[in-house]
Amino acid sequence: MTEQLRSPFVIFDHGTPIYPPNDLHQRTAEMLEELSAFSPQAAVKELLKRRPLLPFSWHPAIAHMFECYFDPYENGRGMEERLLSLIPLMLKQPAQVAWQALRDELITQIDSFSGWSYAWQKGFSEKEEKEISQGPDGYYYATLDDGTVARIHGAKMSKEVRLDYISDQVLKPYGRVRQILDTFSLFAVSVDFQEHPDAYPASLRMVLADKSWYRGTFPWHRMEHGLVRTSRWRPYSNLCDPEWLSEDLMARIVTSSGSGAWESMAKHFKDRINQLDADCHYQLDSVVDTNLWIGEEDEVYFKFEGRTFRWINGTPQSSAILSIGTQGLDSTYREEYRALNKLISTLVWISGARVVLGYGVGGRKRPLPMTWAPRLSGGTRFPLDTTNGIFSVGKSDKDGLALALYQEGKNATSAFYEYLNYWKIIEVAIPTKGDRYAWINLNAPTVGRAEDIPSDLGRAKSVAEYLDVHVRGAIAHVFAKPYINPDEIDDYRRISKAVLLVEELARYAMKSVMHISTI
């Protein structure tokens, strides 16, 4: 058996591969014996000493999990003894026993190993928590200086901030705990290779990088025609894969914190009565991307154009959900989406908020939605009275077209596309060009803000001609000047400023010319 086939590891000395013997457990036990003569602080300093590649030593590989705790900015924080205590756990055999022992210790001491116990986020969130409290409904409240109790949208308690912080330290490649799992994977690979050497192709080896210039993970590389290529190959054993180890550990941390039970969501809705239309035995639930909050409760039912809808307000954990009853399971849901889109157009119009209908999932009617999506980080409450339903503000197809264009403009992520939709609304309201120009020139000074009225009209003879030719035409056409280049910041700023004016004109046209109510 060649030197290469006796080890799953490789290290490169100026491009020359060196295959260290697969004696990690033996050498690590000897290293611990040597370090036992030192104090924990001195032992870590000895372990972190820079060493030449040859003669080969396992010290740099073991030191991998210590380095992030002892860089100039961290300075150890008294972690020497805790970290050293993990090494004997990694030496246990079989590897499954070692992993269970290591995992239990990490979970027990996760605040220390993750750095949460001394993180600035901990102090900040605990200070903020004194001003914000979580009510029995699961939402967050703060008492203002005048005694008013206000619900805070997007707030997180310290236990949530803690879990987010720990998650980064466990799952991200740069995380403190992840470095420990990287190191454990070396021991798992060593044992697995001894037990199943034929499962390791000779062209694949785990690289022990020179820690004098590289502090990353231990990647797998494939030798191919004299070239070294990174590989996503992993051994059969999950214990050899830091990705699996980190997910296993994080799942158990979440479970132990009581934050990850799917049952909590089901429990929240299970005793509620589904109030969608009685003649519908199925429902279509759609995720909604919006910061709109309807009413005072987390769930609200209302009528719109003769149909019942359910709106579940977004939370810091999930996006809003909009539900409608259906007669059956349809691959297109054409009528349902037509009704949903008309409702969305109305909500955008009367609230002024961005409301984007996302993907939907259909199924048999039940209190619990069919779909769920994170997360609403902040929002604006809209005090909409749904007692008598949401009234359809569009009285004609022409009104419906204007509302649909307004929704499209409000939800647009491009200023250029947004402008075109608002301009189309003015065209719908006032079809004749001469009348349209006269109306714009008359109302622009009073409807728009003074700073939004263009001071330089260029060759245009009026505000209306400027908005039509120098903005709308410049967006729609490029065969003659003026036209715009989306990459030019001056063009972008000019159009963005024009959007503010044309939106106000479009809204005013819908109200004063088309007489569309804002309820």
| Side chain identity at residue 423, one-letter code | W
Q: What is the 3-state secondary structure (H, E, C) of 152-198?
A: ECCCCCHHHHHHHHHHHHHHCCCCHHHHHHHHHHHHHHHHHHHHCHH
Q: Is the peptide bond before 486 cis (omega within 30 degrees of 0)?
A: no
Task: For residues 327-339, give the mean pLDDT.
Answer: 83
Q: Taking Cα atoms as reference points, which of 100, 97, 69 lies closest to residue 83?
A: 69
Task: Give kind and range of the element (H or E) at residue 227.
Answer: strand 227-231
Do 239 and 185 form a contact (C-beta atoms < 8 A)? Answer: yes
pLDDT of residue 260: 58
* Tokens describing residue 189: 């690979």
Confidence of residue 213 (pLDDT cuts 50, 70, 90): very low
Confidence of residue 74 (pLDDT cuts 50, 70, 90): low
Phi, psi (degrees; rounded to nearest 5) at 298:
-75, -20
Residues 214-230 pLDDT 10s: 556 789 999 888 788 99
The residue among 135 and 221 whose pLDDT is bigger is 221
Residues 104-128 pLDDT 10s: 999 999 999 999 998 888 888 777 7
Query: What's the N-to-C CA distance of the chain in angstroms?
Result: 84
- How many CA atoms are closer than 13 Å to the CA of 404, on its beta-carbon side? 12
* Domains of the chain by residue range: 4-257, 265-382, 397-513
Please tell me the pTM assigned to this model.
0.62
pLDDT of residue 54: 73
Confidence of residue 131 (pLDDT cuts 50, 70, 90): confident
Confidence of residue 266 (pLDDT cuts 50, 70, 90): confident
pLDDT of residue 139: 66
Q: Is the pLDDT of residue 153 over 90?
A: no
* Tokens describing residue 133: 């409290």
Mean pLDDT, all residues of the chain:
85
* Tokens describing residue 161: 């901030």
* Tokens describing residue 365: 């009617």
Q: Is the pLDDT of residue 508 over 60?
A: yes
Q: Is the pLDDT of residue 82 over 90?
A: yes
Q: Is the pLDDT of residue 1 over 50?
A: no
Residues 25-71 pLDDT 10s: 999 999 999 999 999 999 998 888 877 777 788 888 898 898 888 87
Contacts of 355 (CB under 8 A, 6+ apart): 288, 289, 290, 292, 344, 347, 348, 407, 410, 411
Do 168 and 71 form a contact (C-beta atoms < 8 A)? Answer: no
Task: For residues 440-462, give the mean pLDDT.
Answer: 82
The residue among 166 and 448 whose pLDDT is bigger is 166
* Tokens describing residue 444: 């622009």
pLDDT of residue 433: 93
Residues 392-408 pLDDT 10s: 666 788 989 999 999 99
Identify the DSSP state of 138: S
pLDDT of residue 268: 78
10 Å Cβ neighbour count for 45?
15
As a whole number of angstroms, the distance between CA 168 and CA 290 comes to 27
Do 209 and 216 form a contact (C-beta atoms < 8 A)? Answer: yes
Confidence of residue 370 (pLDDT cuts 50, 70, 90): confident
Task: For residues 241-268, give the mean pLDDT.
Answer: 83
